[in-house]
Amino acid sequence: MHNNLVVILLAAGALYAQDVQTPPAPTGSISGVVQFEGTGKPVEGGFVVIDPGNKNTKTDAQGKYAQHDLAPGTYRIRVDSMNAASVSKAVSLLAGQDLTVDFHLPAPGSITGRIVDENKEPVPDIRVSLVAREYQFGELHYVYTGVTTSNDKGEYRLAPVAPGRGYLVVAEKRAPLHAISDAPADPRLRKRVPVPTYYDGADSPEGGQVLVLRSGEQREGVDIRMLRSPSYCLEGVLEGANGPRQMYFAIGERQPAFGMSGAGGTAGMPPGGRTGTDGKIRICDLHPGDYELTAFALDGNESVSVFGSTSVSITDGDVGKVALIPAPHLTVPGEVVWDGKAPDKPVQAKLGLWLMPVARPFFKHEPDGLFPKTAIPGQFSLPNLLMDSYNLRLLGVPDDLYVKDITYSGQSILHKPLNVGSAIGKATLRIVVATDGGVVAGKVTDKDGNPIPDASVTVMPANAESEAILAAALVSEPADQNGAWSTKRLAPGKYYIVASTAPFDMTPESIGRLWQMHTKAQEVELGPGATVQMTLVPMPED
């Protein structure tokens, strides 16, 4: 499933490759070697993606990559490897130049430990997961990024673990779920159930200890003593338009969830099953917590015909009479409109939309229609939406424009997921683009004015009211090999700008540090259509 996700990501990018005009010769090339930091071992099978153009190659057994026939210009090169965090660099390529760009990726590490019960006895067959914490679309997400199972001695090993970023480790018992459980009616006669337990002994991700590995570190002794709680049941009925019917269901805690993060991800559905024709559920062995109950039915084509979900909180007793009526597909109309007056010259480029379910993989045939392209201005339609949450990305925004706002049913979702069910009545997705954006550009140098290559520049809107919003709204630009950098068009307004030797990721630690840097950052009041030049000196690594 993970591979499917990657394929979809690349395919979505490839849709827009054709938008890049092929300029005349002479072209240049970019090549280099990707190695692990420290050991110098080659990174084999790493993806090297060069933008614009979404040209991608794989590194060979020696870690080498090469991309030819590149027009002169500024490129961003990103290296993705299953074994390490993504690293990107910006470069300026001159006509006919053969540029060498090498990468040193932090070497992956591993986490090992034992799962034990209250009697300190080893617990086998426990699902142990690596959980990344990351801001995405204005929310803090806990995303499964690696998984293993404890063996008969309770031992587990999570590898590879990307160094330099914070992870949680959680131990969970995953047993098959039955639509109708035969658990005793009286909760006092039920066994106590294992609770997802976060290292070092917490029952929630918020209480978990954040582990950060050094490059190549083999962390040992990450032992988890499984907690247990009383066991509760959830009873209800799943209904179609004509009353109760047979349906698939899945139930999982809201966090952590499946999905993607900057450190990789996993795709899947929480545990579930299929009801009888009466649509009845009696799901047991649940510990207290906040759950998302999902139900759906498939048609003869294995496509989802109805889909719905609801939140269920279990505190200290059984939950009864849950009714869930999944809804059929929804067509959401959309439009791209100008903010104020349209520019004199019509825009040729097309804007691409890219929607992806927040916490589950695509169903079969579901991606059909989720990647529409639209003229600017223009109208489009999303014909295949389920009553679910989607992350929306816009691709191919022309350089002289910026996206000022995105609204759904009149509410801004610029830095938020699209909750299809949140609309009242007939809702429209509106994308507002504007031409009055400004640009900030300059150089990154040391104290003496010498350019620093491969630094990172982070531009923070001053009006971000929380760390989560800051994470969604900030713009990160790599400086090239000569220290030069430039933003795309930004909305007029006040910004804080910092340079750093390494880019900031979306983990709460990184964003928290940025949040604290407001006061030390350079401040810019960007006027409509303005270009502001500035020289930045990287912040010291505290």
Partner 1 sequence: MLSLVALTVVLAAALDGRVVEDHSGNPVVSVEVRVLRNGAPGVVAELETDGDGHFGAQDLPAGDYRLELSKSNYMRVTVEAHADSVLQIRMLRYGVISGQVTDEQGQPVRDADVLAFTKPAGSGPLQATDFAVRTDEQGEYRLHHLPPGEYVAAASWGASTRAVGASGRAMTDAKLGSGFLFYPGNTRPQFFTVTSGDEHRADFMLQPAASVSLSGKVEAPASGDAGRFWIALTPVDQPALAVAVTQAAADGSFHFESVPSGSYQLFASGPINMRIGKGGLLGDEPLYGLARVDVAGENVEGLSVAVDKGGSVTFLLRRGSLCPSTASVRLVPLEDHGAAKDWSAELTAGTPRTVNRIAPGRYQLELKTPGNACYLTSDPVVAVAGSSTVEILTAPAGSIQGHLTADAAAVTLYGGEDVRMALPDADHKFAFTGLRPGHYRLVTGPQNKIEVDVHAGAPTVVELANAQ
- Beta carbons of 355 and 392 less than 8 angstroms apart: yes
Query: What value does the CA radius of gyration of the chain take, rounded to a whole number of Å?
Result: 25
Measured from the CB atom, the residue of 118 and 290 that comes closer to partner 1 is: 118
We find the least distance from the C-beta atom of residue 171 to partner 1, in angstroms, to be 13
Tokens of residue 460, six digits:
């923070």
Nearer to partner 1, 118 or 399 (CB): 118
CA angle 119, 120, 122 (to 5 degrees): 115
* Residue reference for tokens 């009211």: 465
Q: How far is the CB of 127 from partner 1 (least distance, A)?
A: 13
Q: Which residues contact 366 (CB under 8 A, 6 or more apart)?
A: 303, 304, 384, 386
Q: Which is nearer to partner 1, 110 or 422 (CB)?
A: 110
Residues 6 or more apart whose Cβ sits within 8 Å of residue 185? none
Cβ distance to partner 1 smaller for residue 122 or 451: 122
For 213-246, the DSSP string reads PPTT-EE----EE-EEE--EEEEEEEEETTEE--
Q: Which is nearer to partner 1, 121 or 448 (CB)?
A: 121
Distance CA 356, CA 140 (A): 17
Round to whole Å and give the CA distance between 311 and 53: 41
Q: Which amino acid would we find at residue 542?
A: D
Taking the C-alpha atoms of residue 400 and residue 482, their distance in angstroms, rounded to an integer, is 24
Alpha helices in 386-507 (DSSP H): 467-473
Going edge to edge, which strands form the sheet with 475-478?
A: 475-478, 456-461, 493-500, 522-526
The structure tokens listed for 429 are 């997705």
Residues near partner 1, by CB under 8 A? 117-119, 121, 123-125, 151-152, 157, 159, 182-185, 189-192, 231
Nearest approach, Cβ of 124 to partner 1 (angstroms)? 4
Taking the least distance from each CB to partner 1, the nearer of 6 and 539 is 6
Q: How far is CA 220 from CA 114, 127, 141, 198, 308, in A?
A: 9, 18, 26, 16, 42
Distance of alpha carbon 119 from its chain centroid, rounded? 39
**Considering beta carbons, is residue 288 or 369 the nearer one to partner 1?**
288
Please name every residue paired with 354 in a beta bridge, in sequence order, or none if there are none.
393
Q: Of 235 and 335, which has the nearer Cβ to partner 1?
A: 235
Shortest Cβ distance from residue 183 to partner 1 (Å)? 6
CB of 12 to partner 1, least distance (A): 23
Instruction: Tell me the HSE value of 62 on the side-chain side, using a 13 A CA sphere.
Output: 7
- Least separation in angstroms between residue 391's CB and partner 1 is 29
Sheet holding 84-93, edge to edge: 55-58, 47-51, 73-81, 84-93
Shortest Å, Cβ 112 to partner 1: 11
> Of the two residues 231 and 266, which places its CB atom closer to partner 1 in the complex?
231
Shortest distance, position 152 Cβ to partner 1, whole Å: 4
Residue 455 in contact with residue 444, Cβ under 8 Å? yes
Q: How far is the CB of 506 from partner 1 (least distance, A)?
A: 29
Compare residues 125 and 368 and give the one whose CB is closer to partner 1.
125
Q: How far is the CB of 227 from partner 1 (least distance, A)?
A: 14
Q: Which is nearer to partner 1, 96 or 124 (CB)?
A: 124
